[in-house]
Amino acid sequence: MKSARVSMGLIVGLALIIGVDVSLAHITPPVVLVSERDAVLGMTGGSTRFFVREVRLTSDERDVIERQWGWRPEDEVYRFYLGRDEAGQLVAAVTFLTEYTIHGPVRVAVGIGPDGKIKGAHVVELTEETYPWLKPLLDQDFTQDYIGRDSRASFGLGERVRRASPESMPQFYAQIVASLIQRGAILFDVAILKRGGGKA
Amino acid sequence: MNGITLTRLPFSAKVFCTLFLFGIGLGCLAAFAQAATAIGLSYDDVVASLAPETPMTHLGHGQFSAEREIDIGQLSSTAKVWIRTPLLIQTSHTHLFGQTLIAGLLGLILLLSSRGEWTKAAILALPFVGTMLDIGGMWLTRFVWQPFAVLVLVGGSTFALGYCLIAAIAFYELWLKREEHV
């Protein structure tokens, strides 16, 4: 009977370990809000033809971005979806950028006009853990506050956002989204505009 | 195992084993539903979620820009999860710990079965092997070769097969099999 007690103790102990492990280190399932196609179509209205441009930043460009904006782009290649009209003129570009936080990834689609100004932005993916923090702000379309700003503008949180969600976590994640929108404008500025624009 | 078998366990231990197996079974069903809705259950779904993002242009090494026209239909119209490396790391560590512990506990229950040693060894190995194939297949698909995605499907199925066999043997011996008197 002593062996039986040892066996049972082992089983109960393991069950407790599993419970603790699952509750502490659970994976937070992703929440995908918008498909890539819908995000691109939504921010390139008036386009009749679509192009994909992939850019690799030079080390000089990475240095310039880090010096000027305090962020160093680490990805090997950045991708822009370009919408053009019948005449081949750029209507808008859309890029997808992700920030990996301790509560999971936040992915944003950023639409930029040919002049480098933000035309629109959508949070396309976050996690079940971060979604409740951002939902009140998403319901108010807070990303629209950044429309019309270019890479040199301020991308801080507006008074509207601070009033709507005064808690720290919504504001923390709203700032991450705002930074991603600014990064989209920065990349377009450096990798498209400064290299001769969005001509085909 | 030292004369202690599932058949001879006290009533409370039988209830514990039964509820544990039942709970893990429900967990497996929930995991199956999560995989089916977030990723998909076909080989193509696994490849689409795990394989590295393939370039859409012919941007070669040493080139700094490349462009080509696309049909907008080429972009995904469904909101699908794409497992990037940081999420793969997170998934791996939680699932390797969690599934291995579950496999260990399932194995402990099977050790108390009165089946032969070789049968028990083969069956209790299934959840362990399945876990390693599953997680290993994810990394191999992402970094080595896309067809390794089949390992993810085989691994998940192996884990499920191991659970089903262990649960079936355990339920039978806990509640249906009569104790053998020597």
The residue with tokens 């967990």 is B27
Count: domains in chain A: 1
ipTM computed for the complex: 0.75
A102 contacts chain B (CB < 8 A): no
What does the mean pLDDT of chain B come to? 88
Q: Is residue A14 part of a domain?
A: no
Phi, psi (degrees; rounded to nearest 5) at A47: -80, 145
pLDDT of residue A24 exceeding 60? no
pLDDT of residue B74 exceeding 90? no
H-helix segments, chain A: 2-24, 36-43, 59-69, 131-139, 159-164, 168-188
Q: Is residue A6 part of a domain?
A: no
**Mean local confidence (pLDDT), A21-43:** 73
**Biggest distance spanned by C-alpha atoms of chain B:** 80
Q: Which residues of A touch B65 (CB under 8 A)?
A: 53-56, 191, 195
Q: DSSP class of residue A78?
A: E
- Residue A79 is part of which domain span? 28-193
Q: Is residue A20 part of a domain?
A: no
pLDDT of residue B13 exceeding 50? yes
pLDDT at position A20 is 45
Strands of the B65-70 sheet, one edge to the other: A30-32, A118-127, A104-112, A90-101, A78-84, A49-55, B65-70
Which helix or strand (DSSP H or E) is residue A99 part of? strand A90-101
Q: Which residues of A touch B70 (CB under 8 A)?
A: 50-52, 81
The residue with tokens 């002049």 is A115
Given A32, A50, A98, which is nearest B80 (Cβ)? A32
Q: What distance in Å separates the CA atoms of residue A121 and residue A96, rounded to the nearest whole number? A: 10
pLDDT at position A101 is 85
Looking at CA atoms only, how far is residue B30 from chain A in angstroms? 13
pLDDT at position A22 is 44
Residue pair B66/A54 in contact (Cβ under 8 Å)? The answer is yes
What confidence tens digit (pLDDT) does each residue in A126-155 have? 988 899 999 989 998 999 999 999 999 999
- The β-bridge partners of A92 are A83
User: Domain locations in chain B?
Assistant: 11-52+79-176
Q: Is residue A143 part of a domain?
A: yes
Cβ pair A8:B16 closer than 8 A:
yes
